Homo-oligomer: A and B are copies of this chain.
Amino acid sequence: MSCGEKLAEEIRGKGFRVTPQRGVILETIAHMGGHLSVPEVFSAARDRLPGLNITTIYRTLETLHRAGMVDLFYSGSGPTRFALRDPDQAHGHLVCSECEQVMDIDESLIAHLAEEVVRETGFSIDPHHLTLVGVCDDCLSEGKRRIS
């Protein structure tokens, strides 16, 4: 069973239909890996399934996101990016607004943050691809800008 087929079974299990388009899109993002934009997924998936429309990519990724299989990742600049979720390892990102650098946050720190928020507010943060914007160590010490 290919990884596309495995993912197809997973979305069927969540009550969504398995279509050729969804099969190809899942296969594509699984093989490309990483953090992809819709146009990137589109041009790769269209090669496997001519006639595929870019609207279908947007809608499929939204569906997969609601199904918990794909994460959104918006860094504050450029197009929104999507990534296949790794259920075993929830990572997040720190985006420096000065140098555009993107760092990873590891799972345990995210878990601590989420714990504090849920205790204070009752709100459960989604630990997958938690994205925080600020200023990195380097940029802060270079004094390019003070955050007020």
Contacts and interface: CB of A to CB of B under 8 A. Distances in A.
Interface of A: 68, 72, 74, 76, 85, 87, 94, 96-97, 103, 105, 109, 112-114, 116-117, 120-127, 130, 132-137, 140, 145, 147-148
B147 A124 contact: yes
Given A94-B123, A121-B94, A135-B123, A109 B116 contact: yes
Contacts of A72: 76
Main secondary structure on A side of the interface with B: mixed
Taking the full assembly, how many copies of this chain does it contain? 2
A128 to B, nearest CB: 8
Contacts of A87: 148
A56 B7 CA distance: 45
A147 to B, nearest CB: 6
B137 A123 contact: yes
A35 to B, nearest CB: 16
Contact of A132 (B105, B109, B125): B125
Given A74-B76, A113-B117, A137 B122 contact: yes
Given A85-B148, A123-B134, 4 more contacts: A94-B117, A105-B121, A113-B116, A130-B132
Per CB-CB distance, the 7 closest pairs between chain A and chain B, nearest first, are A122-B137, A125-B134, A94-B123, A126-B134, A124-B135, A124-B134, A68-B148
